[in-house]
Amino acid sequence: IFSTAEATVVLRENGKMREKSLTMDTLNPQVKAVEYAVRGPIVTKAGDIERGLQQGQKHPFTEVIKANIGDSHAMGQKPITFLRQVVALCSFPELLDSSSFPEDAKQRARRILQGCGGQSLGSYSASQGVDCIRQDIAVYIEQRDKGVPADWDNIYLTTGASDGIVSILKMLVSGQGRSRSGVMIPIPQYPLYSAAISEMEAVQINYYLDEDNCWALDINELHRAYQAAKEHCHPRVICIINPGNPTGQVQSKKCIEEVLHFAYEENLFVMSDEVYQDNVYSPDCQFHSFKKVLYEMGPEYFNTVELASFHSTSKGYSGECGFRGGYMEVLNLDLEVKAQLVKLLSVRLCPPVSGQAAMDVIVNPPLPHEPSYLQFHKEKRAVLGALAEKAQMTEQILNTVPGIKCNPVQGAMYAFPRIFIPPRACVSLLQSLGISPDMMYCLRLLEETGICLVPGSGFGQREGTYHFRMTILPTTEKLKVLLEKLRDFHIKFLKEYASLEEPKR
């Protein structure tokens, strides 16, 4: 018996025309299985429409508003001046002689360059990152966590947070059949997780966040998911996203304690995705790092639970996605395994050094006595203040729309409202087209209003419920327009599909 691919080779040996070597039939099935909705078909279509508009095509709108991805600068947010000054100084050190750069930015740049081979941003760094940047990160974490010790030997610079998450997962995934590694992820989740799990042929274990309780993580649901999964795989790791993406909740200290206790009991590796740690808006909420909570649970926990936490330059108040900067701190890693992790990272040589420099500024901002202090904090406050205002506005306006219910956007950069689509309409009309009702909803929204969102199915949701994810990143004025257009669209959509609910006899 020949596979399709082998048949192709046989044909060729018989002298026929060359066939393609790489086709959908011969493509790695794990690649095929990967899905990543944040840049999926809706976004592709939005790009097509945008190009069409530029070429003069007619649409019922004049502009595509992209609220599909947490890309702050693309939505008009201005870079933090100090950060860019440091990166420019590192990139072109001749500027260190220029009087138009403040002394604190120069001091940061000199320090970073001294950590680089040949004092150049163009050298490879060590695989774990530039030493002095790792040291700055450790100091930052200690301050953030009010004195909980941080060892820079546990810090690894990464290419955005995604790279670190994928590297840690790669270490943990193995086995076949019932001993295949299981990865517990929240539903809804950020689809990097499901994509990586597919690609690595691990088992995705869903634990559902509690939508009726502001997307809180319920420890009973963790137990349920774990026990069910144990029947068919080997759960190895639990992933938490806090503040939540796409759900925007901020976890309570008690909830984090419960998760850590659970991980301790069940010998799970903990991955805490904390890239939105600076994005907390709700006055009742506070960011608690998994590490600090683990520390406060006592040495039996702090010295044993394996915890990797992730941060990034892309979110927070800096929004520097393009620099692909990030770091992870990994606690209690077995020493031999640590050497294996460094080896794995060394194959891709090093994370981008300019991204490392950007990360350094975020963990080592101007101090009160330094010349850039006031401007830095003014800019930081302006960004975070506007986000807090937009978080509240988004929730408020969405909750005035009949058939939309939106939890408070306590943190992160997204709302993930539930949309009520008449159930019979879903079954009768939409499933016959083979696409999910929320995908249909988002497609029509895009075509009729120019608003680009991501359907909830791209993140996962309880069966029979529908959502979308939208960022709160457009400017306040544009976001208001977006929300009003969305309201009008939703009312019209509901009316249209509600009529389908009448039995046709």
Q: Between residue 123 and residue 152, which ones bind a second copy under the rule CB under 8 A?
A: 123-127
Using the contact rule CB under 8 A, the part of the chain among 69-77, 416-424, 431-439, 464-472 near a second copy is: 69-77
Closest separation between CB of residue 430 and a second copy, Å? Answer: 23
Nearest CB to a second copy, comparing residues 235 and 422: 235
Nearest CB to a second copy, comparing residues 123 and 206: 123
Closest separation between CB of residue 43 and a second copy, Å? Answer: 9
Nearest CB to a second copy, comparing residues 53 and 498: 53
Q: Give residues 152-181 in contact with a second copy (rule: CB under 8 A).
A: 159-160, 162-163, 166, 170-175, 179
3-state SS of the chain: helix, strand, coil percent to 5?
50, 15, 35
Closest separation between CB of residue 216 and a second copy, Å? Answer: 25
CA dihedral 209, 216, 259, 176 (to 10 degrees): 10
Q: Give residues 345-374 in contact with a second copy (rule: CB under 8 A).
A: 346-355
Q: Which two tokens stand for residue 438?
A: 């929320």
Single out the residue of 206, 121, 201 nearest to residue 169, CA to CA: 201
Q: Which two tokens stand for residue 454?
A: 């991501």
Closest separation between CB of residue 84 and a second copy, Å? Answer: 5
Closest separation between CB of residue 14 and a second copy, Å? Answer: 12
Q: Give residues 255-314 in contact with a second copy (rule: CB under 8 A).
A: 264-269, 300, 304-306
Using the contact rule CB under 8 A, the part of the chain among 116-124, 207-215, 366-374, 407-415 near a second copy is: 116-124
Nearest CB to a second copy, comparing residues 175 and 403: 175
Using the contact rule CB under 8 A, the part of the chain among 138-146, 286-294, 321-329, 426-434 near a second copy is: 321-329
Q: What are phi and psi of 31, to 5 degrees?
A: -65, -40
Q: Give residues 73-102 in contact with a second copy (rule: CB under 8 A).
A: 73-77, 79, 84-85, 87-88, 91-92, 95, 98, 100
Residue 188's region, left for phi above 0, alpha for psi from -120 to 50, else beta, is beta
Closest separation between CB of residue 238 and a second copy, Å? Answer: 10
Strand, coil or helix: 264: helix
State yes or no: residue 343 binds a second copy (CB under 8 A).
Answer: yes
- 3-class SS string, 300-346: HHHCCCCEEEEEECCCCCCCCCCCCEEEEEEECCCHHHHHHHHHHHH
Nearest CB to a second copy, comparing residues 55 and 100: 100
State yes or no: residue 378 binds a second copy (CB under 8 A).
Answer: no
Which of 31, 56, 60, 434 lies at the binding interface for a second copy (CB under 8 A)? 31
Strand, coil or helix: 471: strand
Using the contact rule CB under 8 A, the part of the chain among 34-42, 271-279, 410-418, 488-496 near a second copy is: 34-42
Strand, coil or helix: 146: coil
State yes or no: residue 344 binds a second copy (CB under 8 A).
Answer: yes
Using the contact rule CB under 8 A, the part of the chain among 7-15, 145-153, 445-453, 462-470 near a second copy is: 7-15
Q: What is the rounded distance in angstroms from the CA atom of residue 314 to the CA atom of residue 391?
A: 18
- 3-class SS string, 360-396: HHHHCCCCCCCCCHHHHHHHHHHHHHHHHHHHHHHHH
- Alpha carbon distances (Å) from 198 to 183, 455, 461: 11, 20, 18
Nearest CB to a second copy, comparing residues 141 and 330: 330
Closest separation between CB of residue 213 and a second copy, Å? Answer: 29
Q: What is the rounded distance in angstroms from the CA atom of residue 480 to the CA atom of residue 225?
A: 39
Per-residue interface string for the shown chain with a second copy, residues 381-410, x marking contact by CB under 8 A: ------------------------------
**β-sheet bridge partners, residue 431:** none
201 touches 150 (CB < 8 A)? no
Binding residues with a second copy: total (CB under 8 A)? 110
Q: What is the rounded distance in angstroms from the CA atom of residue 341 to the CA atom of residue 48?
A: 41
185 touches 205 (CB < 8 A)? yes
User: Kind of pairing, strands 466-471 and 418-419?
Assistant: antiparallel
Nearest CB to a second copy, comparing residues 261 and 487: 261
Strand, coil or helix: 154: helix
Residue 281 burial class via C-beta count within 10 angstroms: exposed 0-12, middle 13-18, buried 19 and up: buried
Using the contact rule CB under 8 A, the part of the chain among 12-20, 359-367, 431-439, 497-505 near a second copy is: 12-20
Nearest CB to a second copy, comparing residues 344 and 435: 344
